[in-house]
Chain A
Amino acid sequence: MSERLPLVALALAAIAATLAQDVVPGLDAYHSWQYATGLAFAALVLLAAAWRALRSGRSGGRRFALALAGALTVAIGGLASGLLGPDTITVRGIPGTVTPVPDLGVAAFFGQTDAAGIAAGSAAITLRSRTAAPVDVVPGHPIFGNVSVEYLVPAPAAFIDAHDAHDNHLTITQPQGSAFLSPILLFPGDQPIHGKTYPIDTFAVPAFARIVRTLYFSTAETKLFPKANFSGPVVLFSMTGGDGGEIGLSIAESQKPVTLGGIRLEATIGTYPRLAVASAPPLAASSIGGAAFLAGLGALSMARRKRIESAEISPTA
């Protein structure tokens, strides 16, 4: 048994490296030559060991070969997924809109949300296709397909509310974005500041001919403003008039209104999901291979226990 332990350890390592693609999906490492070489090496060793165990002609050898063949199946699935699987894609959609995802052959319905939904980061994305029932992808619960895994990645977002001095609600537009009539900023741009980049988005308040560039700072990044002592993420509003002239700057915490250029702006800061699609080991290879591995080891263990029991009985018989 002791000579089998290193092989069992190698089999477990290969299975773990493969299943990592399901547990922590989307890492570039799965597509690297190092990962492929490691799994290929493990697969070769397992293949040779399984062949040797099978050829031994003993029943224990056949059981061990079954376990190793199971691990080999899982590892080959992981290798194929890493080498030949699709790129990891991230789809950024506007709440309430539909975006085709050709890689999956589905349309992604980005859920409607409001200020509370942004604050809670609770929005979901529904995948619809002509051939299958709709599938809801919700935060924290990845969906495993045959050769891919779909999951949500929370990304910075802010719901903007604007009012004039008489408390009249004002329309927010995003003339430069792909969502003209959305009060939800998704910060698709990057603004370099002192060698670091920060998410940035822009909206307009057309009734006042104002353009507001909005920078997002995460809770950790608010240390840039040491005197302020913010407890959560903040946004920095930089307002210009219709003529391009600077009107002012203001930093806003979530749901704490600030007044700039005669407009009261309130940002509810939180997250809105992006849809990520990463390659994953074939479900059939993982489940059949995993079952074979467990069955082989289980059979070995049972046979060993029977042998021990019969050895304990035989001296008194």
Chain B
Amino acid sequence: MRSIGILAGVLGGMVLLSGCYGGGGTRRTFDGGGAGPRGLAGAPAVSFQIPALRGPSDSLAAYRGKVVVMNLWATWCPPCKEEMPDLERFYTAYKNKGVVVLGIDQGESAGAVRAFTQHYGVTFPVLLDDDQQYGRAYAAVGLPTTVIVDRSGHIAAGIDGLLTLAQMRQAIAPALAAR
């Protein structure tokens, strides 16, 4: 009978604890995202097969084994326009050194993108991300957003905002140096 008393005491204590529980305050909601592309370093780079400007379709995964400078941009974005000539210069300088620039337009028609790339003399591959899948997956908080993907398919760096040619060189140096 003594053990019943002990167990009854334990149960009674648990009931008393319920008084401290504060009913009604037991729900929390929190939002994901918002960390921006910087928080992605080290994560595997996700890839989506989407339409390409030149050719039927393309994806980030197709460039596995190279260092990829993935640039998310749009034709209406002033810093993207400013960055584009440097991005093309960078591509020309590094395309034979195992580096590829992959431009991913966010949500625009092929016609608008083609006119834009012709105006800026863009020769690197450009993908048309109609549903903005890359923009969502890479947590872009603005445009342009640049993501450096290493040869193994992992994100080496995520950078928000415009890069100069010198900054692009600096950004890929660790991924290029890695074996």
Contacts and interface: CB of A to CB of B under 8 A. Distances in A.
A275 to B, nearest CB: 9
Given A89-B28, A96-B133, A180 B107 contact: no
A273 B19 CA distance: 33
Given A33-B18, A88-B27, A171 B74 contact: yes
B117 to A, nearest CB: 15
Interface string A71-93: 00000100110111001111111
A90 B29 contact: yes
Interface stretch (A17-25, A36-44, A143-151, A248-256): A36-44
Given A28-B27, A183-B107, A51 B136 contact: no
B141 A170 contact: no
B108 interface: yes
Nearest to B39: A98
A191 interface: no
Given A88-B26, A206-B77, A97 B137 contact: yes
Given A33-B18, A180-B135, A181-B140, A89 B107 contact: no
Nearest to B141: A180
Contacts of A79: 11, 14
B130 interface: yes
Nearest to A274: B29
A56 interface: no
Most chain B CB within a 10 A radius of its CB, from A43, A181, A183:
A181
Interface string B144-157: 00000000000000
B107 A31 contact: no
B38 to A, nearest CB: 14
A95 interface: yes
B104 to A, nearest CB: 10
Contacts of B18: 31-33, 36-37, 82-83
A90 B28 CA distance: 6
Interface residues of B, number: 50
A238 to B, nearest CB: 21
Interface in A161-175: 167-172
B32 A91 contact: yes
Interface stretch (A107-115, A132-140, A218-226, A296-304): A107-115
Contacts of A183: 107, 131-132
Interface in B118-147: 130-133, 135-137, 139-143
B14 to A, nearest CB: 5
Contacts of A99: 31-33
Interface in B7-53: 7-8, 11-12, 14-15, 17-19, 21, 23-34, 43, 46, 48
Given A99-B33, A114-B131, A87 B11 contact: no
A33 B33 contact: no
Nearest to B134: A181
Contacts of B75: 207
A31 B1 CA distance: 30
Contacts of A37: 15, 18
A92 B34 CA distance: 12
Interface string B78-101: 000000000000000000000000
A47 interface: yes
B57 interface: no
A206 B74 contact: yes
Contacts of A40: 11-12, 14-15
Nearest to A86: B26
A44 B7 CA distance: 8
A292 interface: no
A28 B26 contact: yes
Contact of B136 (A88, A90, A97, A170): A97
A179 interface: yes
A237 B46 CA distance: 33
A168 B111 contact: yes
Interface of A: 28, 31-33, 36-37, 40, 43-44, 47-48, 51, 76, 79-80, 82-84, 87-99, 108, 110, 112, 114, 167-172, 178-184, 188, 206-207, 274
27 contacts: A31-B26, A33-B19, A36-B14, A36-B18, A47-B7, A76-B11, A83-B17, A87-B28, A89-B30, A90-B28, A93-B32, A94-B33, A95-B136, A96-B137, A97-B33, A99-B31, A99-B32, A114-B131, A168-B109, A169-B107, A171-B74, A181-B132, A181-B135, A182-B135, A183-B132, A206-B74, A207-B75
Given A87-B28, A92-B32, 5 more contacts: A31-B23, A47-B4, A87-B26, A181-B140, A183-B132
